């Protein structure tokens, strides 16, 4: 697939949160305020791009040639855990308020299905090194896009009336559901029409 | 003791109360058979993980506990993945990446960190079973709603001549397709959680 | 200082035990998985050939629409070809097997691995679905647009047009593969 195709696919058509449900926990957890949402989004973009590139390298240069492809799950998650540790240290040094705002959700990027998800999907689709990197980056951007829209909506919702049982989590899910409905406009047909 | 088992099913149900393990829950809940397969996989990994973390709790130093838990969990996930590919290929194809994604299912690492590394073997086993079954039941509920309303069928395992698909008369010819799609999953989850909150609030009054 | 070595050592030990265990499981399951794939392929081929036998396949490539082809023999002579096709559907790649006459006409087709939407695109897995393609490919063109279908057929694929186009284009490509003589080129 062309690089534009990859970007459009992972940002809009197969938006990780709204169509694949990868990355829901932080999505629901960090989307209350726009600032923390943006911070989380950028951290995720960084981790996802680096992760998909690194996992591509390990899979194609080490696992496959040695015939130990079955160790994919273990090696991928360990790579991701290491990357997240690294990002944590950087954020702690460069922006302590962001570090505090993200709180527990920063180390939780490790168990964020989205990061592991894009690493696995890039391998399944047989992308080369650069394609994997672009896919990771694009998926991260898609995550940022979704979480940004969500945070804006939730900030607005906070000052509106919501039926009691729906307050908090349920209305967040319903909002996400409506966002997913809107994103259905971006489907394969759109991609085909855009790039033929 | 029994409480360790039952808490996972209602009071601390992973999906609806603690809100963990959502990604696979919403993604595979398009068909009942997928929910059953995923549930079985999660129960197996949870058991394996809790058992080994509990057994090794004094052996694993605090500093390296997270990477150790990750290796243990990832190993069990790989076992499930390979065994499923070999002996249940259709299920493996349906669940796709989500089998491997069990490794990032917050429930498993969560229980290892919050429970198994502080409790003895028998309690850890019960905890794993309770949480696993609670997860499966929650997943089944969502899948039933989504498949019945979204496709008008209930898909189970094919046995002999029965191809596994139960069709529901009126709904099969005019299902509400959107419920089977991404939107539906999120909406169903929202409404179910609201329903739960409503029950909760009534009880408090 | 000492504790770092001990910790590191323990982590290493856990990893080694894990790797060894998985190696054993893999050794057990790998042949089963491989065998199953061969079995599935043979079953699929046989469902298209009936009482005839498909001969050994020729791999075409990993990137092209036509992935491989299998000559079907009747009394020692080539009667038809089964092509393994890779189409592009709504949810992703679609694997198909299709049997063609030597003039490129479609005899039968089957949709196999796919990620189409249940209830919509997935209906293409139904043998009835392929009826609209049977007989096309040589003098009749393969219908690759909704407008090339009959009214009833067009209505039946409402909401699953992308799947239809994906299937049709792959089948058409397969037909051209034969009529444009690319079969012979690969043989060499």
Is residue A7 domain-resident? no
Is residue C8 domain-resident? no
| Nearest-by-Cβ selection for C33 from B72, B74, B85 | B85
User: CB within 8 A of B25, min separation 6: which ones?
Assistant: B15, B135, B138, B139, B142, B189
Closest C-alpha among C22, B15, B41 to residue A173: B15
Question: pLDDT value at position C188?
Answer: 43
Helix, strand, coil percentages (3-state) for chain C, rounded to 5, are: 50, 20, 30
CA pair distance B139, B43, nearest whole angstrom: 12
List, in sequence order, every residue forming a beta bridge with C53; answer none if it has no partner. Answer: C73
pTM: predicted TM-score of the whole model, two decimal places = 0.82
- Domain around A84: 23-182
Is residue A129 domain-resident? yes
Q: Give the Cβ contact number of residue B154 at 10 Å.
A: 17
CA pair distance A165, C135, nearest whole angstrom: 59
Is residue C21 domain-resident? no
Confidence of residue C144 (pLDDT cuts 50, 70, 90): confident
Question: pLDDT value at position A58?
Answer: 92
Is residue A171 domain-resident? yes
| Helix B65-87 and helix B32-55, axial crossing angle in degrees, nearest 10 | 140
Give the range among B128-142, C34-48, C51-65 with minimum mean pLDDT.
C51-65
Paired tokens of C157: 């694929």
Is residue A15 domain-resident? no
Q: Which residues of C touch A (CB under 8 A)?
A: 18-19, 22-23, 25-26, 30, 90, 161-162
The residues in B 63-92 lying below 8 A from A, measured between CB atoms, are 66-67, 70-71, 74-75, 77-78, 81-82
Is residue A116 domain-resident? yes
* Mutation site, C43, C118, C125, interface B, largest B CB count within 10 A: C118
How many domains does chain A fold into? 1
> What does the pLDDT average to over A152-174?
86
* Mutation site, A1, A69, A70, A74, interface C, largest C CB count within 10 A: A70
CA pair distance A133, A57, nearest whole angstrom: 11
> What does the pLDDT average to over B81-90?
89
| Nearest-by-Cβ selection for C22 from A70, A187, A192 | A70
Q: Predicted ipTM? A: 0.80
Which ranges of chain C does DSSP label H, i.e. alpha helix? 2-49, 151-156, 161-179, 182-187
Is residue C143 domain-resident? yes
Is residue C163 domain-resident? yes
- Domain around C105: 53-187
Alpha carbon A137 to its chain's center: 9
Question: pLDDT value at position A55?
Answer: 93
Closest C-alpha among A122, A138, A102 to residue A4: A138
Is residue A77 domain-resident? yes
Number of B/C CB contacts below 8 angstroms equals: 63
How many domains does chain C fold into? 1
Write the DSSP string, C42-73. Answer: HHHHHHHHTTSEE---EE--SSSSEEEEEEEE
Chain B residues with CB-CB distance to C38 below 8 A: none
Paired tokens of A121: 């999907």
DSSP letter assigned to residue B19: -
């Amino acid at each position: 697939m062309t690089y534009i195709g990859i970007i459009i696919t992972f940002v809009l058509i197969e938006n990780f949160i709204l169509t694949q449900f990868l990355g829901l926990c932080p999505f629901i957890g960090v989307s209350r305020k726009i600032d923390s949402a943006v911070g989380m989004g950028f951290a995720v973009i960084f981790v996802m791009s680096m992760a998909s590139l690194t996992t591509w390298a390990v899979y194609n240069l080490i696992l496959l040639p040695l015939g130990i492809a079955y160790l994919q799950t273990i090696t991928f998650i360990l790579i991701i855990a290491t990357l997240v540790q690294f990002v944590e240290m950087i954020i702690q040094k460069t922006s302590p308020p962001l570090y505090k705002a993200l709180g527990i959700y920063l180390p939780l990027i490790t168990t964020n299905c989205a990061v592991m998800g894009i690493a696995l999907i890039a391998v399944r689709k047989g992308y080369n090194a650069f394609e994997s990197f672009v896919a990771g980056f694009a998926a991260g951007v898609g995550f940022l896009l979704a979480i940004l829209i969500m945070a804006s909506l939730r900030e607005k919702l906070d000052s509106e009336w919501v039926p009691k049982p729906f307050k908090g989590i349920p209305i967040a899910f319903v909002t996400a559901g409506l966002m997913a409905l809107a994103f259905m406009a971006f489907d394969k047909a759109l991609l085909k029409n855009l790039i033929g | 003791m029994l409480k360790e088992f039952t808490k996972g099913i209602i009071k601390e149900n992973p999906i609806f109360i603690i809100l963990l393990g959502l990604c696979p829950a919403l993604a595979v809940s398009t068909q009942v058979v997928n929910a059953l397969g995923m549930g079985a996989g999660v129960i197996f990994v949870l058991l394996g993980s809790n058992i080994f973390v509990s057994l090794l709790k004094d052996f694993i130093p605090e500093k390296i506990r997270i990477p150790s838990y990750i290796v243990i969990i990832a190993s069990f996930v790989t076992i499930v993945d390979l065994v499923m590919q070999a002996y249940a290929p259709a299920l493996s194809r349906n669940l796709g990446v989500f089998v491997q994604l069990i490794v990032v299912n917050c429930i498993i690492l969560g229980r290892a960190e919050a429970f198994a590394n502080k409790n003895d073997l028998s309690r850890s086993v019960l905890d794993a079973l309770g949480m696993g079954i609670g997860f499966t039941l929650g997943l089944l509920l969502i899948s039933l709603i989504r498949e019945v309303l979204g496709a008008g069928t209930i898909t189970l395992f094919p046995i002999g001549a029965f191809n596994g698909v139960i069709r529901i008369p009126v709904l099969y010819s005019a299902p509400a397709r959107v419920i089977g799609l991404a939107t539906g999953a999120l909406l169903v989850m929202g409404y179910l959680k609201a329903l739960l909150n409503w029950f909760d609030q009534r009880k408090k009054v | 200082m000492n504790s770092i070595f001990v910790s590191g050592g323990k982590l290493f030990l856990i990893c080694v035990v894990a790797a060894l265990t998985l190696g054993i499981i893999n050794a057990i399951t790998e042949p089963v998985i491989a065998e199953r794939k061969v079995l599935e392929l043979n079953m699929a081929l046989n469902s298209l050939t009936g009482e005839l036998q498909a001969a050994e396949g020729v791999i075409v490539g990993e990137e092209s629409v036509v992935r491989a082809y299998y000559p079907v023999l009747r009394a020692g002579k080539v009667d038809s070809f089964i092509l393994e096709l890779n189409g592009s559907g709504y949810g992703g790649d679609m694997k198909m097997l299709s049997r063609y006459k030597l003039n490129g006409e479609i005899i039968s087709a089957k949709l196999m691995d796919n990620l189409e939407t249940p209830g919509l695109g997935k209906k293409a897995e139904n043998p009835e679905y392929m009826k609209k393609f049977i007989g096309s490919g040589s003098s009749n063109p393969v219908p690759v647009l909704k407008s090339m279908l009959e009214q009833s057929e067009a209505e039946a694929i409402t909401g699953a047009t992308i799947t239809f186009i994906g299937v049709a284009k792959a089948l058409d490509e397969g037909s051209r593969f034969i009529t444009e003589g690319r079969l012979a080129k690969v043989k060499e």
